[in-house]
Amino acid sequence: MPAVPINSDSSPASTEQRKKKDGPLRILMTWSPDSSGDETAQFAAWLARTQPVEIRTATVISRAWSNQPNAQQRKEYNKWLQLESEANARAAQSALLAAGVPRRMLDAELPSAIMVDHSETTALITAAQEFQADVVLIGSHPAAPRGRFRIGSTADALLHCAPLPLGLAPRAPKLSKRGVTRVNCAYVDTEQSHQALRKAADLAARWGVPLRLVAFSPRGATMHPTAVPFNDTSMMVEWREQALALLDRGRDRALARHGNLSVETETGSGYAWSGALSALKWKKGDLLVLGSSVLGDFNRVFIGPSTNQILRYAPVPVLVSPV
């Protein structure tokens, strides 16, 4: 399939933008020395089965101490740093190859970037900008249930300040061997969901797959479990009517952007957020696109409480894009 950068804007494509869309998707895959799973490599391989990609891995080694005053200590530290860097580069590249990424899709110039820094977040953002990455892939906290994403320290920081889209890989994902087969978009007819819709529609059109617009409604008096039950049947009927109307508007927006796109709409309602997301049927080829919150700076990712809950219970890989 032709390639498309995930970080595309909403305006009509210029000549330079179209040229970029013809190139491979540039992926920066984060890799930690204590990585307990290969979900980021699996995510990268899944995207590689969808379109051509170019992957660079990035590892940040924490600078715990200032420069050693003793010459012998500096020599020993630098020797350890070289060995640690080589070990992490080998481990990250081996994980990609084991996941099925062709070696030719690893960045020829610098397949693995190793950085020593006090701030992992700053180092990763700098690495992404230097690579001109279209997306940064982040793995889940190891305590997450299988097939779910939990925010770790790296993800938490990047989800509040990253200037480019973030791909969040659930722990031990089960992904389609045919790559992405459907793009999903959480849509609530706000500016951030309009931006997510534009990105989702562009991806679905470029990859030649259906677009599904989804709206979620956790049942109950609040969006979270409560000690005292609340009868919200009449509210849910009204909500469903409103949701269907806003999804129809979303479909119109998507078709106005790509007239030949196959667009589906569905609503998910259940007790709390877990029930709302599990009310929908999900496939191994599903990618969920979310817009970030308008509370953050423009062109930065900033997740709000609703996005956080969707990330927690989404059973598929998620792409969070800046407003």
Sorted by sequence, the CB contacts under 8 Å of residue 237 that are 6+ apart come out as: none
Q: What is the pTM of this model?
A: 0.86
- The C-alpha torsion from 151 through 131 and 302 to 323, rounded to 10°, is -140
CA 203 to chain centre: 13
Closest by alpha carbon to 27, among 102, 86, 150, 111? 111
Q: Which domains does the chain have, with CATH numbers?
A: 1-174 (3.40.50.620), 176-323 (3.40.50.620)
User: How far apart are alpha carbons 163 and 191 in whole angstroms?
Assistant: 17
Residue 322 is predicted with a pLDDT of 79
Residue 64 is predicted with a pLDDT of 66
Residue 189 is predicted with a pLDDT of 83
Residue 67 is predicted with a pLDDT of 67
Residues of the chain below pLDDT 50: 2-3, 8-19, 221-223, 228, 294-299, 301-302
What is the β-pairing status of strands 166-168 and 318-321?
Answer: antiparallel
Closest by alpha carbon to 115, among 12, 196, 28, 186? 28
User: How far apart are alpha carbons 7 and 12 in whole angstroms?
Assistant: 14
